[in-house]
Amino acid sequence: AQSVAQPEDQVNVAEGNPLTVKCTYSVSGNPYLFWYVQYPNRGLQFLLKYITGDNLVKGSYGFEAEFNKSQTSFHLKKPSALVSDSALYFCAVQGGTDSWGKFQFGAGTQVVVTP
């Protein structure tokens, strides 16, 4: 079975400060990890993914994420947050040899960036 946890319902940060959104996972086999963002009244939008290789993954809109196998984590980061980054962020995992297309999503973390 695979699962993903986002321990924070909401993250508040001031504009210009670093932003971190936490994600931990549990899979049998190699993990394939994704981050998505959802703006109000919109579908989910892909930000970045880790499949293999370098543990630091860079994605859209200045976001990056670090894969940490020992801590089973895949935290999303942005060095300097913008008000326009306020949205709902989802971590997702695929794992196992027969799990293509079968994402397991976290419950989401609401990010609020204040001016």
Partner 1 sequence: ETGVTQTPRHLVMGMTNKKSLKCEQHLGHNAMYWYKQSAKKPLELMFVYSLEERVENNSVPSRFSPECPNSSHLFLHLHTLQPEDSALYLCASSQDGAGTYNEQFFGPGTRLTVL
Q: Which of residues 77-96 bind partner 1 (CB under 8 A)?
A: 90, 94
Most distant CA atoms of the chain, gap in Å: 45
Residues with Cβ within 8 Å of residue 74, at least 6 apart in sequence: 23, 24, 25, 31, 33, 35, 50, 65, 66, 67, 68, 91
In the set 14, 28, 46, 68, which binds partner 1 (CB under 8 A)? Answer: 46
What is the token pair recorded at 108?
Answer: 């989401």
x-marked contacts with partner 1 along 5-24 as a string, rule CB under 8 A:
----x---------------
Contact (CB, 8 A) for 34 and 48: yes
Q: Select from 14-22, 45-53, 62-70, 71-79 the region that touches partner 1 (CB under 8 A).
A: 45-53
- What residue ranges bind partner 1 (CB under 8 A)? 4, 9, 32, 34, 36, 41-46, 49, 51, 90, 94, 98, 100-108
